[in-house]
Structures are given as structure tokens and as C-alpha cells.
């Protein structure tokens, strides 16, 4: 295969304000989900594509955010004898979704990659990247001419439900209209009406022809920016992949859509992170049931002649989930350094991730939540649908709760009552469903939060380093 | 000596509990409410006790029968065809109440206090008037009828001021009286009020004194006050050093004022109190936290549940990691599922609560 590079657009701290208050503690891209940073899930998916030799992270976070990640990545590659390097290229300012690609074109084109993947860092899905690359190869063969781009199209199984779940957010998706053979004939960013049930999934396969288009986009930006008769201020540095490139693609090039029908989510808010935790834990637990990891990685192992098991374990960085028992409802990830007191009927799960050095007291219940490192949780406490950031101290007999319901129950509800009931629920201010609106549906404790014994936190966001001495319901505590 | 207890109607204010059990039989401090009064009357030397009721539930007749022999009293039900107010029942039960010339105690059944009836009787006899009202001091007299005393004669009542706007005093009618049989002559056989019709006549004749009630007083006719009254009652038991209370040396007792029936089972690592009553045969799981609540008999509180300011009705079940608070009242045989939160829910009998109840409401 000829796809040798992957570019992951990681974003930056001045954006991602919707990820507050968690963004105050950790960069969104490094936020731990199902036991490892969001970025690791994407990187590990990329590593499954055997031909990838370089991963480039483009964003405008401080370099220090990635230093530890990059050094441990390199160590892993050395250990597993996988030939792949990683680097982070920092934009001098936020350059839009494609400005960074243009700015760092020389780095991307170094070594003449025939094609390369571009992935938005906040996408959560099962990443069938090998299939996407294969699709590109097949199209190249059958088409006998140059393919300009492959778009990753997410087929929405129930558009009505999708509409209901995402509400006003719907217009932030691009939609793709294609022929039967997958050729894209129309691309619309932020449509106001239903044009297609295939949306842009934020993953692309491009080749050098992209840079010709980026140059053209850049030139027209400069022209507009220098045009005194033009009314609006235009920043010539900013290029939008969606508006400036994809929108015009069907008219000028041969663009195909690779259709995907699995789980998919763009992580924007903390509730999305909880949703992603559920999806990834589910995915990992299903993956661990099959004795052999996905075929592509096995193939590579064999051709490399390295030890298959070592290769798989090391490069996939697959976490080992807890086994089911009377106190574990799978899937659950607990870091090996965490201490859980299993006396007195402690129960953890489903969909729980627990970080390093966390201690959990006897008789405590945790479901659908993420607990970050160094937290101390007392006895007989219950935590549900919540994210607890690092270094928190939660007392005995506390209740930290979000009303959020998981995907499965949403689907069941819709199946039983239709979409109308869901929409009715969404219209009620106090009843907010996980992953749909910005706040209120989950509880978040910022880092260093202290919750006194017996206290109740319901659907509230607590900013870092506060002490909770009274019950808090539907509040943001500054 | 004779006593009349004004029981009245269906006790709707104490629903959902009174949908299953007549109010006088609802246990307060692990004892039917009416038994607190029957016991006090028996201890003060009463041999005849009349319960003035608007309706006569058979269950109540049966339940109270056993106490006749225990306390050596005759208990008679005086059933009103139509509600006769607070004075009418005295006329209706005239035959029993006037069978001798000894004074008659009149008690309102919703009131909970220490019932110093002997002291009251001594006071009454010493003052040689026709009737004595028990007075209690309250913080906000403007909500009640306030007693105003004579300037010269101590304890002689000069007048009543209904819901005073200006401060005239803080003593109010506590709903406990002792009257001479002759007072019944002042009452006509019709619905009539002892406070508004009979007492003013006695005031006019300078025949009505008030006796200051020592200790606590509370009308426990509704759930919020039931719980407040429970706290006062338990504090009084602690003050007396009552051996009914669970000793604070027990590891699970927190802050004292805990009354647990010996047949109840308490799990490991619980923290119970202050101000908790747990009835017979209740099963409290491991790591349960209970404060300021009454758990009525045969109920089960499962592991790690958190219960505060709640009345758990008979044979109910509270699930693991459930949280109840805000004057929640579970009727008989209610189930609160695991992990559910209920705030101020009034739950009718035989219901199962599966979803959170975040704001106070009635669950039909």
C-alpha cells in the first residue's frame, strides 16, 4: 500500500471551550477515555494501517502537552520494532481546519507520500482505516484515473433520532451526496434541510492534489483579504477544509465516499467524553472476546517476522479490562495502581474507567463514569454518569449523579415510544440527556474538588479546587 | 377519673400513612400514637377512656382491646354521626363522663408532649375552678390563639386573642384540658367548639386557669411535624436517660436519640442517628446511613442506602444506594429501586419507584 502518512488535527486550548470545565484540567485531546488519552485511541487505530510510517500531529497546543506522549510512543515503537515516527507541528495561531495542512505542506510532502490520511483528533469511531485505504486502492484500479480524495461518510441509520439527539448541532455537520458507486456529487456544509443521511465523519484520504487546491484557496483568500471593496474582514491565514476545499471537490475532482455504519461521535463537550468512554469500553470488550486481533496487524507481524504476540500487545496498547464478577459489571477499566476495597458489596460498572492511584472505599457504587488519577473516594458513596477529574476527594455516603442515560437506553426508548417522546424530553430544561446539550446532564468535579460526607451533587459542574459542603443541584460552581 | 381523646376523622393530613392504618394506630416512637395518651391517662388514674371518633374502623377497636387489660382501663368508642367539633363529643359521651364527680381529662390526639397529667390535676384541684387549660410557649404566637392572663390573679385567664397582630403573650392552648363534669352543662348537643364557645363562658365566670406545660409540645398531625415531634420525643427520652434508647456505645449509633426495636437487625458499618426510630422486624443492610427518620415495622433498608427526614411506611423496601430525603413519606409496601433518589415524595401504598423523584410530589 502507498498510504504512508497520517495527519491528526489535534486542535488547541484556545478552542475547545465547550470542553470546560475539564479543559481547565487537561487538554481535550489528552483526556483519558477508557483508560488512555483520546489521542491514543486515534494513534493506535492509525498504527493498524501497516504502511503508515509517520504520524504528524498538527494543532496549536503548547508543545509540552505532547512531549510525554511522543517519548512513550517512540519507546513503544522501538520495543515492538514497528517502523513509525511521530511529530507535533505547532501552528503559529489557529489556522482553521486546513490552514495547518497548507502551512506544513513541506513536512507532509517530505518523502513523496502517494497518499495520506487526515483525521480530526476529536473523532470517536471504530476507525476502519485499513478498509478505507483498500477502498481507495480499488477505486484507483477501477477508475483508471486519479482519485483526488476519499471522504469518510457516516451513514446515519435513523436520521430522525440523529436530528433529535443533536438538535441545533446538526447544522455543524457536512453532508455528502453520492452516486451508487460512491462518487461524491454534492457536498454541503451545515445544511438547513435534510439533503442526505450520510455525514462527513472527519476522516479523509488525500494525495498531493490537495495542496494544489489549498494553494488556490489561499490565493483567493489573499485576493479577498486585499480587496478593499470587500465588506467583511477576511483572515488570509485561515483555510477551512470543509468550506474552501470539500465544498468544491465534486465539481473539480474525482472524489469518493467510503461509507461507514458503525458508532461515531465528535467529542465537543464533557458529556461527549462520557459517551465516548461507553463506546470505547464496549469496543475494547468486544475486541477482547475474539482470540485474534484484527487481521491486518497479524499480517504485518508475519511479514516482519517479529513475535506476533509482543507486536500486537505493544502496538495496539490494548488495555486489559476487568473480568465480570459480583462486584464488576463489564466493561470496566481499572488502572493496576488503583486500590478498590471490595468488601461490603462494592459494585463498579458498566462503563467505568478508573485512573492511576485512585482509592475507592468499601460499599461504593460507580456506574457510567470516568475517575481520573489520584482521586480518593470514601465508603458507601454512589457516583453515576459523572466525570471526576484528578486529585478529588469524595467523602462517605456521598452521591455524585448525572441524569444521563446511555445509548442503549436511548435506543430502547425510541424503539418503544418513537422519536416524539424523546423530543418532548429534550424540550424540558431540567431533563437533559447525555451528549446532547452542553450541561446539566452529567456531573463534573473539576480537579481537587472536595466533597464532604453525605453531600449530593446532581447535574452540576464544579470548577477546580472547590469544597462542597452543601448539596448542589443543577448548578455551576465557580 | 375519666379521659376523653378527641380523635376525629380520617387523618388525611398524615396520608399516605393513614391510607393503610387509622391515624391513632400509626406508630410514633414505636408505639401507636394513641397509646401515648392512653398510657398517660392510665398513669394519671383514669379508669374510663372515651375515644371520640367520626368513624369507627374495626381494626382500631380490635387493636385497642388488648390495652384495656394491660392498662386496667375501659376504652369506649363514641362515634359521631356528624363531626361535633371539639366540645360536642363531651356532650355525646356524657353518660360515661358524668358517672362520678371526678374531673375529666380532654386530650387532642395529634398532640405529643410529656403529659404531666398528675401535676395538671393537682394544679386544677388547688385552683378550685371549673376547668384548666394546658398552655405551651411558642416562638410565633401570631399563628395561634394566644392566652392573656389576669393582671392580679396568677394563671387566671382573662381572654383569648385569636392570631394576634401585636405581641400579647406567647402562651397558647396546647389542646389538653381538665374539666369538672359540670362544664358539660354548658355544652349543647350540636357541633360546637370548646375553644370558641365553652371556654369564653368560663373566662367570663373567672373559672378558667392555665397550667404551663413543662418540656416539649408538638402537633404531629402531618409528616413534617411528625418528624420534628419525633426529634423532641427522642431528645426527651435521652434527657430522662430512658433505657428504651439504643445505647450510644453501639458502634453504629451516631449522635444519639436513636430508638431501635430489639427485633430489628442492623448490618455492618452503618451510621444511624441522630433522631432515628426503627420499628420491629426491620432489616437494615450494611453501610446504611439514616438520620432524622422513622422506619416503620417490617421494612427493609438495603445496603449503602442514605435516608434522611423520611418516614418509611410498613413493609417497604429501600434499594441499595438509594437516597431519600426532604420529608419523603413511603406508604405501606412501597419499593424504592436500587440507586434511586427521592426528594419529598409522598408515595401511595404498593407503589414501586424506579426513577428519580427530584422535586417534592405525590406519587399515585
User: Using 50, 70 and 90 to split pLDDT, how confident is the model at A248?
Assistant: confident
How much is the pLDDT for A230?
A: 65
User: Using 50, 70 and 90 to split pLDDT, how confident is the model at A354?
Assistant: very high
B301 within 8 A of B312, measured Cβ to Cβ: yes
Note whether B287 contacts A399, CB cutoff 8 Å: no
B304 within 8 A of B321, measured Cβ to Cβ: yes
User: Using 50, 70 and 90 to split pLDDT, how confident is the model at A267?
Assistant: confident
Distance (Å) from the alpha carbon of B303 to chain A's nearest alpha carbon: 8
How much is the pLDDT for A25?
A: 87
Note whether A382 contacts B269, CB cutoff 8 Å: no
Note whether B339 contacts A384, CB cutoff 8 Å: yes
- Across the range B278-298, mean pLDDT stands at 96
Domains and CATH numbers, chain A: 3-307 (3.90.550.10), 328-402+442-477 (2.160.10.10)
- The Cα–Cα gap between B15 and B329 comes to 9
Note whether B339 contacts A456, CB cutoff 8 Å: no
- Across the range B41-51, mean pLDDT stands at 91
Mean pLDDT score of chain A:
81
How much is the pLDDT for A293?
A: 35
Whose CA is closest to A169, among A196, A203, A199, A126? A199
Model confidence pLDDT, tens digit, residues A173-226: 788 888 888 888 888 877 777 778 888 889 999 988 888 888 888 888 888 877
Residue B205: active-site member: no
Cis peptide before B16 (omega within 30 of 0): yes
* The three grid cell numbers given for residue A396, joined into one nine-digit string: 462517605
Strand partners, A66: none
Identify the residue among A326, A365, A382 best suited for mutation to test binding to B, counting B beta carbons within 10 A and taking the highest: A382
* The three grid cell numbers given for residue B279, joined into one nine-digit string: 420499628
Distance (Å) from the alpha carbon of A266 to chain B's nearest alpha carbon: 30
Model confidence pLDDT, tens digit, residues B24-40: 899 999 999 999 999 99
Mean pLDDT score of chain B:
90
ipTM, two decimals: 0.76
Residue A260, classified by CB atoms within 10 Å of its CB into exposed (0-12), middle (13-18) or buried (19+), is: buried
What is chain A's alpha carbon radius of gyration, rounded to the nearest angstrom?
23
Q: With beta carbons under 8 A apart, name residues in chain B contacting A386.
A: none
Domains and CATH numbers, chain B: 2-219 (3.90.550.10), 236-363 (2.160.10.10)
- The Cα–Cα gap between B68 and A215 comes to 102
- The Cα–Cα gap between A46 and A35 comes to 18
Three-state DSSP string of chain A: CCEEEEEEEEECCCCCHHHCCHHHCCCHHHCEECCEEHHHHHHHHHHCCCCCCEEEEEECCCCHHHHHHHHHHHHHHHHHCCCCEEEEEECCCCCHHHHHHHHCHHHHHCCCCCEEEEEECCEEECCCHHHHHHHHHHHHHHHCCCCCEEEEEEECCCHHHHHHHHHHHHHHCEEEEECCCCEEEEEEECCCCCCCCEEEEEEEEEECHHHHHHHHHHHHHHHHHCCCCCCCCCCCCCCCHHHHHHHHHHHHCCEEEEEECCCEEECCCHHHHHHHHHHHHHHHHHHHHCCCCCHHHHHHHHHHCCCHHHHHHHHHCCCCCCCCCCCEECCEEECCCCEECCHHHCEEECCEEECCCCEECCCCEEECEEECCCCEECCCCEEECEEECCCCEECCCCEEECCCCCHHHHHHHHHHHCHHHHHHHHHCCCCCCCCCCCCCCCEEECCCCEECCCCEEECCEECCCCEECCCEECCEEC
How much is the pLDDT for B155?
A: 87
| Catalytic option among B118, B163, B224, B265 | B163
Model confidence pLDDT, tens digit, residues B246-260: 998 999 999 989 999
Q: What does the DSSP assignment read for A291-303?
A: SS--HHHHHHHHH
Structure letter (DSSP) for residue B91? H
User: Using 50, 70 and 90 to split pLDDT, how confident is the model at A258?
Assistant: very high
Cis peptide before A21 (omega within 30 of 0): yes
- Across the range B279-287, mean pLDDT stands at 96
Model confidence pLDDT, tens digit, residues A369-410: 999 999 999 999 999 999 999 999 999 999 999 987 545 556
How much is the pLDDT for A432?
A: 39
Q: What does the DSSP assignment read for B34-62?
A: HHHHHHHHHHTT--EEEEEESS--HHHHH
Contact B252/A at CB under 8 A:
no
Model confidence pLDDT, tens digit, residues B296-314: 999 999 999 999 999 999 9
For A457, the closest chain B residue by CA position comes to B341
Distance (Å) from the alpha carbon of B161 to chain A's nearest alpha carbon: 41
Model confidence pLDDT, tens digit, residues A43-53: 999 999 989 99
Model confidence pLDDT, tens digit, residues A410-465: 666 666 766 666 666 555 543 434 334 444 478 999 999 999 999 999 989 999 99
Contact B339/A at CB under 8 A:
yes
User: Using 50, 70 and 90 to split pLDDT, how confident is the model at B142?
Assistant: confident
Cβ-Cβ contacts under 8 Å between A and B: the total is 59
Q: With beta carbons under 8 A apart, name residues in chain A contacting B303.
A: 344-345, 363
A459 within 8 A of A401, measured Cβ to Cβ: yes
- The Cα–Cα gap between B5 and B105 comes to 8
How much is the pLDDT for B89?
A: 85
Residue whose cell numbers read 465508603: A379
Percent of chain A past pLDDT 70, that is, above it, reads 81
How much is the pLDDT for A320?
A: 78
Q: Is pLDDT above 50 for B15?
A: yes
Which residue among A345, A399, A458 places its CB closest to the CB of B306?
Answer: A399
From A111-125, A153-167, A217-231, B280-294, the region with the lowest mean pLDDT? A153-167
- Across the range B279-288, mean pLDDT stands at 96
Whose CA is closest to A236, among A252, A249, A225? A225
Amino acid at each position: 500500500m502507498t498510504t504512508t502518512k497520517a495527519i491528526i488535527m489535534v486542535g488547541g486550548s484556545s478552542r475547545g471551550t465547550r470542553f470546560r470545565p475539564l479543559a481547565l484540567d487537561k487538554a481535550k485531546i489528552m483526556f483519558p477515555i477508557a483508560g488512555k488519552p483520546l489521542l491514543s485511541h486515534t494513534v493506535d487505530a492509525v498504527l493498524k494501517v501497516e504502511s503508515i510510517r509517520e504520524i504528524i500531529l498538527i494543532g496549536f497546543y503548547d508543545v509540552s502537552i505532547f512531549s510525554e506522549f511522543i517519548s512513550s510512543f517512540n519507546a513503544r515503537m522501538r520495543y515492538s520494532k514497528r517502523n513509525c515516527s511521530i511529530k507535533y507541528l505547532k501552528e503559529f495561531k489557529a489556522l482553521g481546519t486546513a490552514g495547518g495542512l497548507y502551512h506544513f505542506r513541506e513536512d507532509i510532502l517530505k518523502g513523496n507520500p502517494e497518499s495520506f490520511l487526515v483525521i480530526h483528533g476529536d473523532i470517536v469511531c471504530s476507525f476502519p482505516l485499513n478498509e478505507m485505504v483498500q477502498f481507495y486502492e480499488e477505486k484507483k484500479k477501477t477508475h483508471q484515473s486519479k482519485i483526488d480524495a476519499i471522504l469518510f461518510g457516516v451513514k446515519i441509520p435513523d436520521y430522525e433520532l440523529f436530528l433529535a439527539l443533536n438538535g441545533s448541532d446538526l447544522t455543524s455537520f457536512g453532508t455528502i451526496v453520492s452516486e451508487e458507486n460512491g462518487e461524491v456529487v454534492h457536498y454541503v456544509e451545515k445544511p438547513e434541510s435534510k439533503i442526505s443521511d450520510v455525514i462527513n465523519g472527519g476522516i479523509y484520504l488525500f494525495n498531493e492534489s490537495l495542496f494544489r487546491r489549498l494553494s488556490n484557496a489561499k490565493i483567493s483568500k489573499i485576493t479577498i483579504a486585499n480587496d478593499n471593496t470587500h465588506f467583511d474582514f477576511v483572515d488570509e491565514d485561515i483555510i477551512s477544509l470543509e468550506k474552501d476545499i470539500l465544498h468544491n471537490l465534486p465539481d473539480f475532482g474525482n472524489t469518493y465516499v467510503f461509507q461507514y455504519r458503525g458508532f461515531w461521535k465528535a467529542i465537543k463537550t464533557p458529556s461527549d467524553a462520557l459517551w465516548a468512554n461507553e463506546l470505547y469500553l464496549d469496543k475494547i470488550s468486544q475486541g477482547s472476546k475474539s482470540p485474534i486481533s484484527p487481521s491486518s496487524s497479524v499480517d504485518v507481524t508475519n511479514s516482519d517476522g517479529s513475535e506476533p504476540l509482543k507486536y500486537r500487545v505493544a502496538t495496539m496498547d490494548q488495555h486489559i479490562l476487568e473480568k465480570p464478577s459480583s462486584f464488576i459489571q463489564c466493561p470496566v477499566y481499572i488502572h493496576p495502581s488503583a486500590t478498590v476495597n471490595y468488601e461490603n458489596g462494592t459494585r463498579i460498572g458498566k462503563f467505568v474507567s478508573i485512573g492511576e492511584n485512585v482509592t475507592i472505599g468499601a460499599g461504593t457504587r460507580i456506574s457510567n463514569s470516568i475517575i481520573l488519577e489520584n482521586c480518593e473516594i470514601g465508603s458507601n458513596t454512589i457516583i453515576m454518569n459523572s466525570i471526576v477529574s484528578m486529585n478529588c476527594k469524595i467523602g462517605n455516603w456521598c452521591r455524585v449523579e448525572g441524569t444521563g442515560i446511555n445509548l442503549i437506553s436511548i435506543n430502547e426508548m425510541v424503539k418503544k415510544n418513537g422519536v416524539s417522546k424523546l423530543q418532548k424530553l429534550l424540550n424540558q430544561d431540567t431533563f437533559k440527556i447525555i451528549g446532547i446539550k452542553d450541561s446539566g446532564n452529567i456531573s463534573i468535579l473539576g480537579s481537587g474538588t472536595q466533597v464532604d460526607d453525605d453531600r449530593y451533587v446532581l447535574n452540576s459542574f464544579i470548577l477546580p479546587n472547590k469544597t462542597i459542603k452543601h448539596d448542589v443541584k443543577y448548578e455551576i460552581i465557580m | 377519673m375519666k379521659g376523653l381523646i378527641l380523635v376525629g376523622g380520617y387523618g388525611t393530613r398524615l396520608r399516605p400513612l393513614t391510607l393503610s392504618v387509622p391515624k391513632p394506630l400509626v406508630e410514633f416512637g414505636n408505639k401507636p400514637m394513641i397509646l401515648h395518651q392512653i398510657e398517660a391517662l392510665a398513669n394519671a388514674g383514669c379508669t374510663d377512656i372515651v375515644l371520640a371518633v367520626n368513624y369507627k374502623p374495626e381494626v382500631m377497636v380490635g387493636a385497642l382491646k388488648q390495652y384495656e387489660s394491660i392498662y386496667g382501663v375501659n376504652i369506649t368508642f363514641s362515634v359521631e354521626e356528624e363531626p361535633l367539633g371539639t366540645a360536642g363529643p363531651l356532650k355525646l359521651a356524657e353518660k360515661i363522663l358524668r358517672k362520678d364527680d371526678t374531673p375529666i381529662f380532654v386530650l387532642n390526639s395529634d398532640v405529643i408532649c410529656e403529659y404531666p397529667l398528675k401535676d395538671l390535676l393537682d394544679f386544677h384541684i388547688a385552683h378550685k375552678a371549673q376547668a384548666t387549660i394546658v398552655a405551651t410557649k411558642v416562638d410565633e404566637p401570631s399563628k395561634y390563639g394566644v392566652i392573656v392572663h389576669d393582671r392580679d390573679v396568677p394563671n387566671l385567664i382573662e381572654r383569648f386573642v385569636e392570631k394576634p397582630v401585636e405581641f400579647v403573650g406567647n402562651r397558647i392552648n396546647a389542646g389538653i384540658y381538665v374539666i369538672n363534669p359540670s362544664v358539660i352543662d354548658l355544652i349543647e348537643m350540636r357541633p360546637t367548639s370548646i375553644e370558641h364557645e365553652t371556654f369564653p363562658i368560663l373566662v367570663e365566670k373567672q373559672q378558667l386557669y392555665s397550667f404551663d406545660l413543662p418540656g416539649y409540645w408538638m402537633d404531629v398531625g402531618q409528616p413534617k411535624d411528625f418528624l420534628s415531634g419525633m426529634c423532641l420525643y427522642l431528645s426527651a427520652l435521652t434527657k430522662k436517660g430512658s433505657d428504651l434508647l439504643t445505647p450510644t456505645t453501639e458502634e453504629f449509633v451516631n449522635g444519639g436519640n436513636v430508638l431501635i426495636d430489639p427485633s430489628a437487625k442492623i448490618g455492618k458499618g452503618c451510621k444511624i442517628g441522630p433522631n432515628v426510630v426503627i420499628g420491629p422486624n426491620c432489616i437494615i443492610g450494611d453501610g446504611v446511613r439514616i438520620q432524622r427518620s422513622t422506619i416503620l415495622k417490617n421494612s427493609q433498608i438495603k445496603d449503602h442506602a442514605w435516608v434522611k427526614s423520611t418516614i418509611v411506611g410498613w413493609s417497604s423496601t429501600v434499594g441499595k444506594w438509594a437516597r431519600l430525603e426532604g420529608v419523603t413519606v413511603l406508604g405501606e409496601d412501597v419499593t424504592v429501586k436500587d440507586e434511586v433518589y427521592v426528594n419529598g415524595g409522598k408515595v401511595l401504598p404498593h407503589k414501586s419507584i424506579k426513577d428519580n423523584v427530584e422535586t417534592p410530589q405525590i406519587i399515585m
